[in-house]
Structure 1
Amino acid sequence: MTNLDRRPRAVGDEVMNGDWVASLLATRPIDWVTSAINLVSVLEGGTPGPATKARGSAKRRPFAYDAPRRGLNGLQYDAMMCNTDTSGTSFADMWGALQARLTADPGLGGLYFTAWCADWPLHAPPTHVVRGHSPLQLSGHKDEDVTPYRWVQEAQKATGGALLTVQDDVHASLAQLPCVSKVLAFFRSGNTTNGTCPGDR
């Protein structure tokens, strides 16, 4: 990976550098064989075949108070995430955190770099989570990388809520799956569900 960063190779319009390697490492499990074949081919001095595109986030649209309603309000999302962010918000802080991730994980540590919280003016104290007595429904995707499954496991340990595990690696696929009815039942009746449901494979 480091060698390709120092001496990138090109085949047609495709540039093979460290970012190219990271994009193959971030493909879905169903595409791992193709990614491995391409990585080995390049490692041995050959050329890759057609690469499977890594999953990527859709381009974020600008949001404002008067923006049309959509599934995600970016202004609200940023406020929720950045208000409780305890890391530094200067460029130097964020760049230093990126370099630390790259050192810890050269393969994928540098895959995501966002500046959404850059110079965010407010830092609210983190919410102290305690176990409650009212019903709580949690859900998580077993193999996804956007919100790792261990986070929902930690949330369940802290809150004691019910956990529905979706057996896939697709972020936010639950809305398109039949088992979304189990989560909707919580909002409609307060009934919670543990266990698993088939995901988007």
Structure 2
Amino acid sequence: MSITRFAVPLLAAVALLPVVPAVAAAGGLSWQLCSAVARGWDPDDQRTECALVPVPVDYADPGGPKIDLAVSRIRATGERAGAVLLNPGGPGQSGLGMPGSIADSHAGGIGLHHDLVGFDPRGVGYSADLPCQMESPEPDPGVPDRDKAREAAERIAKANRECVDAHPAFVRNLTTPTIARDMDRIREALGEDKIGYYGVSWGTALGAQYRSLFDEHVDKMLLDSVMPPDLSVTTMDDDQATAGENTFHDFASWIARYDSVYHFGTTEPQVAKVLLELRDKYGATVNGMLANPRREWPDLAKQLVAIRAGDQPVVKKTTPSGFGWDGEPSAFNHAQQAALLCNESPSPRDFDTIWQHRLDHMKRLPVAGGYGLYEQLCVGWPLAARPWVFEKGTSPLQLVGHLYEPVTPIGWALAMQHRIGGALMTVEDDAHGSLSSLPCADAAVTFFDTGRTTSASCAGAPTPKP
């Protein structure tokens, strides 16, 4: 999740169970096929292995309660030179499947000389899935009634308090530095003095944190679709909405170019007017179609044509998550995301301030101003914020930014580069974390093999036709 502008699926909650014994043996981890130990795993997957790494709930109390982190691996297919740890972002997103997705991508060459290692961060999926029933705010295309909005905020605040009260030590330790320390325990369990890292979206902040704490243990680090160096969910909402406003008008212009196909109008203002009328009629579902990456435009335009013709929009449903190897693999944990963001963002917690910010956004950005979700997640969050602290390091660092992306705008990558250093490669697209899907991912392969960075520009996928 990687981080998105829109509401994320809320997975059904389960209770935290007693910690299961770690699958570890003296001298290393006991690897087994994930398909053999993880219920719900693809039974045809005969290359991905899984193991558990024990870590303390609180690193200030290393002898206290522990949980197990689920780790996955695809072994290097050639002469092995090390391991690359992977994280897809979110926060809240499972990373166990990332070795397979990277291996099958244009960046798959990384796996020739390196083991590809994924993991579920604490609070997600097989790594002690956080079982809180959280309220998820929906993007609203218009200004809702203030009393209705306050009532929704009170539900969010209640859910936040209940989650912290039910699991105080666990939730308090859902922070980026804690997960960076978890990564170092994984490194130790792998028997590596240094480890490579490939992070996307929020995973770039995790990488920056790991490098700040453990630079001497970083072999090489690549960060794609880069987060800002200072976390503020207020600023995130504003920056993403600003970029989303531009994307909406680009989308409307694209539809106008193909009026013979879609019949929404021949100019951007005509198309924008029709799309906003559909949004006013159908609400959040249509609202979530208006500022998406270019690769999705043909399918979204087709859906919008069907909606205009009277078809009801389809709302996707999610399936329950589980715990440990006996649970189903869950792709996302909404509660873990809220905890990480709210534990670290020094943003307002009160409804009145957040409501006014929303009104200001919608006045300045009439289309995308209502997309903001992150500030609302922290209404009533009872724990004090502990802001990120990132520092420069000496290990090889490659940043990748996307020129037109609304999810992690290019300005964030520039700010992060200024804070922590590294070379910045720019991709000429608007797709979040797309490097591995492009031919220029060979730059990533070269980087992990040689440490050679680049400041080149990379052509993204062309804007599609209907």
TM range (shorter): 0.5 to 0.7
Matched, 1:34 2:255: yes
Q: Distance in 2 between matches of 1:60 and 1:80?
A: 25
In structure 2, C-alpha distance between the alignment counterparts of 1:165 and 1:194, rounded to whole Å: 7
Given residue 443 of structure 2, which amino acid in structure 1 is its aligned partner?
K
The one-letter amino acid paired with 2:437 is: Q
- Sequence identity (%): 32
The answer on 1:135 being equivalent to 2:365 is: no
Q: Say which one has the larger Rg.
A: 2
Relative distance call for 1:180 and 1:38 in structure 2 (3 A) is: same
Query: Partner of 1:87: helix, strand, or coil?
Result: coil
1:146 positional shift = 1.2
1:24-53 per-position Cα deviation (integer Å, ceiling 9, x unaligned): 86437365253672633787xxx99xx9x5
Amino acid at match of 1:94: I
Cα 1:187–1:129 change in 2 (3 A) is same
Give, in angstroms, the shift of residue 89 of structure 1.
2.8
Cα deviation for residue 116 of structure 1 reads 3.1
Shift in alpha-carbon separation, 1:27–1:175, aligned structure 2, 3 A: farther
Indicate the residue corresponding to 2:290 in structure 1. Answer: 54
Question: Shift in Å at residue 82 of structure 1?
Answer: 2.5
TM-superposed deviation, 1:162: 1.1
- Which amino acid counterpart does residue 355 of structure 2 have in structure 1? W
DSSP 3-state at the match of 1:99: helix
Q: 1:56 and 1:69, CA in 2 relative to 1: closer, same or farther beyond 3 A?
A: same
Cα distance in 2 between the residues matched to 1:42 and 1:185: 43
The aligned length equals 176
1:170 and 1:150 map into 2 onto residues whose CA distance is 15
> Hey, what does 1:10 align to over in structure 2?
none
The residue that corresponds to 2:338 in the other structure is 78
Q: Alignment partner for residue 347 of structure 2, among 57, 75, 87?
A: 87
Letter of the 1:192 partner, please give it.
T
Kindly provide the CA deviation profile for residues 169-200 of structure 1, in whole angstroms up to 9, marking residues without a partner as x.
12222232222332355456544332111112
**Per-residue Cα deviation, 1:94-123 (whole angstroms, up to 9, x for no partner):** 322211222333343223335333433434
Is the Cα contact below 8 Å between 1:135 and 1:192 reproduced in 2?
A: yes
TM-score, structure 2 length as denominator?
A: 0.32
CA distance in 2 between counterparts of 1:38 and 1:143 reads 19
How large is the Cα RMSD of the aligned pairs? 4.0
SS in 2 for 1:131: coil
Are the equivalent residues in 1 in contact too, given 2:361–2:369 (CA < 8 A)? yes
The residue matched to 1:27 in structure 2 has which SS? helix
In 2, distance between residues paired with 1:119 and 1:171?
30
Contact 2:245–2:367 (CA<8 Å) still a contact in 1? Answer: no
Deviation (angstroms), 1:136: 1.6
1:112 aligns with one of 346, 353, 372: 372
Structure ranking higher on relative contact order (CA contacts 8 Å, 6+ apart): 2
TM (norm. structure 1) is: 0.65
Equivalent position of 1:154 in the other structure:
415
State the distance in 1 between where 2:397 and 2:347 align: 29
SS in 1 for 2:411: helix
Residue equivalent to 1:97: 357
Structure 2 residue runs of 5 or longer lacking an equivalent are 1-139, 143-240, 257-265, 279-285, 294-314
Counterpart residue identity of residue 106, structure 1:
P
Distance 1:86 1:69 in 2: 29
Q: 1:107 to 1:119 in 2, by over 3 A?
A: same
CA separation in 2, counterparts of 1:168 and 1:160? Answer: 23
